[in-house]
Structure 1
Amino acid sequence: MSRNVIGWLQAAPLAAVLGCFLAAPIVMIVIVSFWGATEYSIYPAFQFDNYEFLFGSAVTYKVFLATFKYAAITWALTLTIGFTVAYFLAFHVRSLQTQIALFLLCTIPFWTSNIIRMISWIPFLGRNGIANQTLIDWGLIDEPLEWLLYSDFSVILAFVHLYTLFMVVPIFNTMMRIDKNLLEAARDAGASGWQTVWHVVLPLTKPGIMIGTIFVVTLVMGDFITVRFMSGSQRANVGRLISNDIGLLQYPSAAATAVVLLLTVLMVIGILLRFVNIRKEL
């Protein structure tokens, strides 16, 4: 038996799993996106009504813009926090045991449900919550801040809380592979701490940053429950559009929106992969 045949046989189980649980559902969603729907029924067809309605509505562009806004702000904040945490763990903590302990400490909140961690912010940020009461007691404000909860601020805060670890892990993994002699060589050459980070650490950490970016951006763009709870149903993103259509049993419309969202995410990932070759990291 030739090596090519053996290779195909070895890849067949994984290909079958990916085909059944990844490719087949996507194909079904694409097919359903061309179907028609009335108030009482769904009927198979091949028409572009769902896409025409989607792209012909000003709400669609507004919601997509809000989705990109959430993704961009969350990415910037998680990158800043993730890079800082990973840099501290990789280069300022000398003991391997301490590194592992601190890294596990970062993962403790992720041992609970995303929903529990998300809604835990509600009593903290509420009008009579801990944050407002503390600020009033300190004399910093005279009345509760209304924008702490059920606003873009609370949505982005929850996103950062939920997804920062997805930025920390790949960046930390990449930094741990950097030869420490390079940092010493930079210092010997007269580089300051910021120059070392900018010209040595950051370029060598690009694969981890890109992997973390892909994780964070795709998760934020596909999320809908966080926007619903943390905005008090006053904000919307593409995920909420899909969720609302499903709730109204408008599956073809939901499928069309899902296809557009999938293509948008794939284009974003394609653009990101143009900047760095992450195969070396994988």
Structure 2
Amino acid sequence: MKMASVEYLQQAKQPAVRHRRVSAWLQATPLTVTFALFFIVPLVITLIVSFWDFNEYQIIPAFTLKNYAAIFDGCTSFTDVCVTFKTYGSTLKFCAMVWAVTLVLGFTIAYFLAFHVRTTAMQTVLFLVCTIPFWTSNVIRMISWIPLLGRNGLVNQALMSAHLVDQPLEWLLYSNFSVVLAFVHLYTFFMIVPIFNAMMRIDRSLLEAARDGGASGWQVIRDVVLPLSKTGIVIGSIFVVTIVMGDFLTVGVMGGQQIASVGKIIQVQTGYLQFPAAAANAIILLAVVLMIVWALTRAVDIRKEL
């Protein structure tokens, strides 16, 4: 009798289990289809086109490795650094500088919002203030720096009026400084949000216990807040690094078309209708970015922390 009851209950549960499985598949299908259409399919097409040939007039769908060979042309020389390595070096340099500055700013702002702003309403207001730059386009935000940093801009005029400099500072605009400044202006918010979310999940009693144990404010940040914010730091770093690595507009506008980057090379090749060459560069860039993301995710298991 008991065995019969168990079998009956198992048979009764089977339709419910099948229903949950079907429901899970139906819920996952729209996202899966969207992901496949707008990410997987374009990526596969880009990979295929990167192996095609081309000339001045047309794309030739014939397999060739010359696009990749052209990228690494001269890179086997030990006496001179090839163009590809120089370009990636320039891009990675900007990436490292922007990451360092946005991390310091993002962590500081997120810490202030999470631990020094007590009310949710004020946190919301300050977050809205942080989003104000996003109410307009990136181009307008970048161009707004030109009247400030130009040779006859407000900054140079103020410095000369205060007799701090004898002549305008040329490096304020169309330089590495202006490119990094624009990147920081554009993308610091992408570092603030994930770090803030990680900090809001920290148990406040841990901070109180550390203070009761005699820890200073700096020790609390170093030994409690920073380790528990690793997830937000890694996610914010991924956002900033991936965006900066592929950016070409900021480098072009703020660098005065004089600074090379991988994204700029791809944009120029696309402008000259050299789509297979641009696709090959895009695949190489994607591989480099994925390696950077992999290295960042080694610091913390994001799936367990979220």
TM-score by length of 1: 0.97
The separation in 2 between residues aligned to 1:101 and 1:9, in whole angstroms, is: 38
- Matched to 1:117, the amino acid is R
Are the counterparts in 2 of residues 174 and 281 from structure 1 also a CA contact under 8 Å? no
Structure 1 or 2, whichever has the larger Rg, is 2
Instruction: Say yes or no: does 1:180 pair with 2:197.
Output: no
Instruction: Say yes or no: does 1:47 pair with 2:71.
Output: no
Which consecutive residues of structure 2, in runs of 5 or more, have no partner in the other structure?
1-14, 75-81
Q: In structure 2, what is the equivalent of residue 96 of structure 1? A: 120
- Deviation (angstroms), 1:5: 4.5
Are the counterparts in 2 of residues 208 and 281 from structure 1 also a CA contact under 8 Å? no
Instruction: Say yes or no: does 1:275 pair with 2:275.
Output: no
Which consecutive residues of structure 1, in runs of 5 or more, have no partner in the other structure?
none
Q: In structure 1, what is the equivalent of residue 247 of structure 2? A: 223
Instruction: Say yes or no: does 1:8 pair with 2:8.
Output: no
Are the counterparts in 2 of residues 50 and 252 from structure 1 also a CA contact under 8 Å? yes
Q: In structure 2, what is the equivalent of residue 31 of structure 1? A: 48
- Deviation (angstroms), 1:256: 0.1
SS in structure 1 at match of 2:302: coil
The separation in 1 between residues aligned to 2:225 and 2:24, in whole angstroms, is: 39
Q: What do residues 228-265 of structure 1 show as CA deviations (whole Å, max 9, x unaligned)?
A: 00010010110001001001110000000000001111
- Of 110, 127, 131 in structure 1, the residue corresponding to residue 155 of structure 2 is 131
Q: In structure 2, what is the equivalent of residue 115 of structure 1? A: 139
- Matched to 2:221, the amino acid is V
- Deviation (angstroms), 1:6: 4.3
Q: What do residues 62-88 of structure 1 show as CA deviations (whole Å, max 9, x unaligned)?
A: 001111001100000000000000111
The separation in 2 between residues aligned to 1:95 and 1:6, in whole angstroms, is: 40
Give the total of aligned pairs: 282
Which runs of structure 2 are paired with 1:244-259 in the superposition (5 Å)? 244-259=268-283
The separation in 1 between residues aligned to 2:293 and 2:49, in whole angstroms, is: 25
SS in structure 2 at match of 1:190: coil
- Matched to 1:42, the amino acid is I
The separation in 2 between residues aligned to 1:281 and 1:109, in whole angstroms, is: 30
Q: In structure 2, what is the equivalent of residue 69 of structure 1? A: 93
- Of 256, 264, 284 in structure 2, the residue corresponding to residue 240 of structure 1 is 264
* RMSD value, Cα: 1.2
Are the counterparts in 2 of residues 85 and 168 from structure 1 also a CA contact under 8 Å? yes
